[in-house]
Amino acid sequence: DVLKNELLPREQPFLMYYSLFDLKRGDHLYDQVNLARGRLSSGSAYIEDSDVAVHHSSINSVLMPPLEIETGIPITALYQLNFAGRKVVNGRFAYAYNFTSGGGSCQVSFTLNGVTVFANEPVIGIGDETIDLSREAEELLVDSGPNLADGSEGVWTVTGAGCKGVIKDSHLEVTVPAVDTVLDMEGSPYSFGEMGVGYSLTGTWTMEVWMYRDEMMWTDRGLVAILQASDNVWQPRQEPVGTFRWHEAPGARRGVRVAFDSGNTLHFQAYVGCPMGQWCHHVISMEKTQVERCKLRIYVDGRLAIAQRPNDRTELEWDTVVCGSSPQVTGFTPGTSSHFRIGPGFAGKMNDFAIYSTAQNNADTVKRNMRFVKDFSVGSWLAAYSFDNFDQDNDEILLDSSGKSANDGVATAGTFRLLVYGSEYYWADCPGTSYQSPEAVCSTRSIYEHGYCKGSRDDGGKLCGCNEGFFGNDCSGTCVGAPNNICSGHGSCISLNETLCLCETGYTGPGCEFECPGWSDPRNQPRKECLGHGQCAYDEDGGSVCVCNEESGRYGFMCEFTFGEDPEFTRAQDCRECDGPHEVCIDGVCACDEGFYRWFSICRNQNGGAGLALSTGVLAGVVSTLAAFAR
C-alpha cells in the first residue's frame, strides 16, 4: 500500500508489480522476478529493480478427497509426499471441516504415523485449520517416492454425542529450500570432485551422502568415493586400487573396503544399493567398539544393511576387524599425497557429502535426522560439502561448507553444479501448466495472474478460478483490455466459444472502444443510440456508424435528418429540434440570437466563432455531424 501511494512509474504508464507468492496457491514459489520500479512522488529518487531474496518453498501432498467422519468410527488416510531429494525445514498439516450436527460439542483428533498432531480440537460449523508439526512428527514423514508407492498414515477420530461431519482438503505442507545445489557427474572415470584432505580418519568416524543414480546413464561400477595413492584415472573394467573404496552398488569385490595402518582390511559387501531414478541416503559409519577392534555399519535410507559373505559367517563376525589401538585409515592424514575423489565413474547427482567424528549406531536416529537441512558451520564436521558455496572467481572450486579451506576441492571436466527446485513439480496437474512451463498455473505469465488453482474435479483433476478479465478451463481466454481496462470500461466480458465484450448502450467495437455517433451530442436527450432511429454498428475499417432503420425515413451521421426534407430549411421553418446553442424559435422560425448568424446547422457569432457556450465536447459532435453530412 505504501508503494502504491508513493511510487510513480518511471517509463511505463502504470507501475508494474510482480508476484513472488500467491496465497491461493499455498505459498508456492512460481517465479523470482523484479518487484517494483519507479520514482518516489516526494522527490526525484528512483527505486530500481527491487528484489526479494527467496529462501524457502514448499511441497504438498495431494489434497485428500472429502472424508466422512462420525463419533466412534476412526478414519484412516494416506498422505503421500515425493521429497525427490529435498531437505525439510519444517512441516504443517492443513484441513477444512464441515460439522453441522452434534450440538457444537464435537472435537477431532489426528495422528500421523502414530504421533499425535492435535487432539480434541473443536469443530463447529464450517472452518479450516493449519497446525505446525512437532519435530517428532516431521522426523517420521515418509517419502512416497516418484511412484507414490508409500505414504504417511493419518488417523482421524471425532468425539462428542452424535457428531458427524466432513474433513475436506486435508494435506501435508513441508517447507523446503527454494533451490538446492547438487554435484552432477556424467559417468566418466574422468568426471569427479578432487577433494582436499585436512583431517585424519582415526578411530570412530562417519561418512554420509544423498545420491541419485541416473536411470538414463545407467552405471553400476562407479564409486561414491575413493582414496588412492596414485594420480592414475581408474577404469571401470579394472578393480580400483585404494585404501578406501565406497562403491555405488553391491556386487563381487564391491561394497565398502577400508584398509588400516595396522595392515588389516575390512571389506563390507552389502547387497543394498540405491535404486535407479530416485534419491536415496547412504551412511557408512566406523566405530571403535573395543580394544583394537572396529565395527562398520552401512545404512540406506535409514535401514541397516546386512553383510553377505560365503561360509555363513554372521554379521558380527564379518563387519568387525582388528584395527589397532589407534586405528588410522591408511592415507587419510592432513596434507596427504593420496587423492580423495568423489564420484569417479558415477552417473548421477550427489548432495550434502559430509564426514564427521562420531558414530551412527542407531537406524532410527539416522532415519529421523537424514531429511533435515543441516548447518555445516557448527558441529563435529571433519569435512562437509553442500555444493551451495562457490568461489566467485573460479566456479570449479568446491568449497568445504564447514569453512575448512584445507578440504576445498576442484570439479574436473564433466562435473557440474545443478539446481534442485523446491516446488518444480507440484502444480503440474493444474490447467495451463506444461513440462516446458510448470509455473504457468491457469495460464499465468510473468506479469499478470490469469487465475489460481482450486479444488478438484470428480476425476481428481484440478480446477481454475479465473481472475476478472480471464476465462476458460485454464483461464487462457483473455478479454480485450484485461486486466486493467476490460472492454475499455464500457462493457463486460463473456465467454462463449471465444471471449467477447458485451458493450454498454452507446458503445461498440471488439473492445467497446468506440462511442456511437452522436451519443454525447447535447441534442441526444434522453440519450438513445442513433437518436432512437437506428442501430449502432462497428465499422470494420475502424470506428462506429449508425445504421438507420428503413421505416424511419431517416439518414445522417446519427439518423438526425428525414428523407425528402432540406435539413436546414426544415430546421429553420418549423423550429424542429431548435435547441442548439444560441438558437431561438421566433414565430415558428428557428433563428439565431442577436449577434449570431446561421451557418449550416449552427449559429455563429459575428467573429466567426460558434459562441462561448459551445463546449469542446459539443463542438466535436457538431464537427463530426458536418463532416458526415458533407460526405
Domain annotation covers residue 223? no
CATH number for the domain including 331?
A: 2.60.120.200
Provide CB contacts within 8 A for 448, sequence distance 6+.
482, 483
Q: Would the pLDDT of 391 be above 90?
A: no
Q: 152-161, 519-528, 561-570, 588-597: which has the highest mean pLDDT? A: 152-161
pLDDT of the residue at 327: 86
Asked if residue 482 and residue 383 are part of one domain, the reply reads: no
184 lies in the same domain as 116: no
Distance CA(608)–CA(230), nearest Å, equals 105
- The answer, yes or no, to whether residue 506 has pLDDT greater than 90, is yes
- pLDDT-derived band at 35 (thresholds 50, 70, 90) equals very low
Q: Are residues 385 and 408 in contact, defined by beta-carbon separation less than 8 angstroms?
A: no
Q: Say which residues have a Cβ less than 8 Å from residue 488's Cβ, sequence separation at least 6.
A: 480, 481, 501, 507, 509, 511, 512, 513
Q: What's the rounded mean pLDDT across residues 591-611?
A: 64
Q: Are 303 and 363 in contact (CB under 8 A)?
A: yes
**What pLDDT does 29 receive?**
41
Cα gap 93→480, rounded to integer Å: 41
CA distance 88 to 59: 10
Q: From CA 525, how far away is CA 50, in angstroms rounded?
A: 53
162 and 190 belong to one structural domain:
no
Asked if residue 221 is part of any domain, the answer here is: no
Give residue-wise pLDDT tens across range 114-166.
999 999 999 988 999 999 999 999 999 998 887 777 899 999 999 998 899 99
Q: Are residues 452 and 556 in the same domain?
A: no
Residue scoring higher pLDDT (389 or 433): 389
Are 315 and 233 in the same domain? yes
Cβ-based burial of 32 (10 A; exposed 0-12, middle 13-18, buried ≥19): middle
245 and 365 fall within a common domain: yes
pLDDT digits (tens, 9 = 90+) for 276-330: 888 999 998 888 877 778 888 888 898 887 654 444 343 433 456 777 778 888 8
pTM over 0.85: no
Chain position carrying cell 497446525: 131
If one counts the domains in the chain, the total is 5
Residues 473 and 605 in one domain: no
Is 607 part of a structural domain of the chain?
A: yes
- Domain-embedded: residue 510: no
Nearest 10 degrees: Cα torsion 487, 490, 494, 496? -70
Q: Structural domain of residue 440, as residue ranges? A: 426-501
- State how far the Cα of 555 lies from the Cα of 563, in Å rounded to an integer: 7
Query: In sequence order, what are the residues at sequence separation of 6 or more whose Cβ sits closer than 8 angstroms to the Cβ of residue 471?
Result: 477, 478, 479, 493, 495, 499
Contact, 371 vs 87, CB < 8 A? yes
* 582 and 434 in a common domain: no
Instruction: Please say whether the beta carbons of 70 and 123 come within 8 A.
Output: no
CATH code assigned at 102:
2.60.120.260
Identify the band that residue 342 occupies on the pLDDT scale cut at 50, 70 and 90. very high
What whole-number distance in Å separates Cα of residue 185 and Cα of residue 525?
Answer: 80
User: Per mean pLDDT, which range of 91-95, 545-549, 612-616 is the poorest?
Assistant: 612-616
Mean predicted lDDT score pLDDT of the chain: 78
pLDDT of residue 14: 38
550 pLDDT band (50/70/90 cuts)? confident
pLDDT of residue 38: 52
pLDDT at 16 over 80: no
Tens digit of each residue's pLDDT (9 = 90 or more) over 376-385: 988 889 999 9
Single out the residue in 501, 528, 548 at which a domain terminates. 501
Q: For position 199, what pLDDT does the model report? A: 94
**Cα–Cα separations (whole angstroms), residue 287 to 101, 201, 273, 325, 356:** 60, 11, 22, 13, 12
Q: What is the pLDDT at residue 260? A: 78
Is residue 152 assigned to a domain?
yes
Q: Does residue 68 share a domain with residue 29?
A: no
Using the CB atoms, write b or e for 593-604: b if 16+ within 10 Å.
Answer: eeebebeebbbb
| Among the ranges given (17-21, 108-112, 249-253), the one the predictor scored with the smallest mean pLDDT | 17-21
Specify the pLDDT at position 252: 58
- Residues 594-611 have a mean pLDDT of 62
Least reliable range by pLDDT among 201-205, 312-316, 595-599:
312-316
User: Which of 501, 533, 557 is the last residue in one of the domains?
Assistant: 501
- CA 497, CA 500: separation in Å to the nearest integer? 9
Mean predicted confidence (pLDDT) in 441-448:
70
Co-location of 260 and 406 in the same domain = yes
Q: Examine residue 219 and state whether it is found in any structural domain, yes or no.
A: no
Last residue of one domain, picked from the residues 421, 453, 474: 421
Would you say residue 509 lies in a domain? Answer: no
Residues 68 and 46 in one domain: no
Whether 199 is in a domain gets the answer yes
Residues 533 and 615 in one domain: yes
More confident residue, 183 or 7: 183
Say if residues 538 and 509 touch (Cβ distance below 8 Å).
yes
Helix and strand counts by DSSP (H, E) for the chain: 6, 45
Q: What was the pLDDT predicted at 78?
A: 95
pLDDT at residue 483 tops 80? no
Residue found by looking up cell 568416524 in the block: 205
- Residue by residue, DSSP assigns 375-412 as -TTSSSEEEEE-S--B-SS-TTEE--TTS-GGG-EEE-
Give the residues across from 605 on adjacent strands.
596
Query: CA 316, 321, 322, 323: dihedral to nearest 10 degrees?
Result: -130
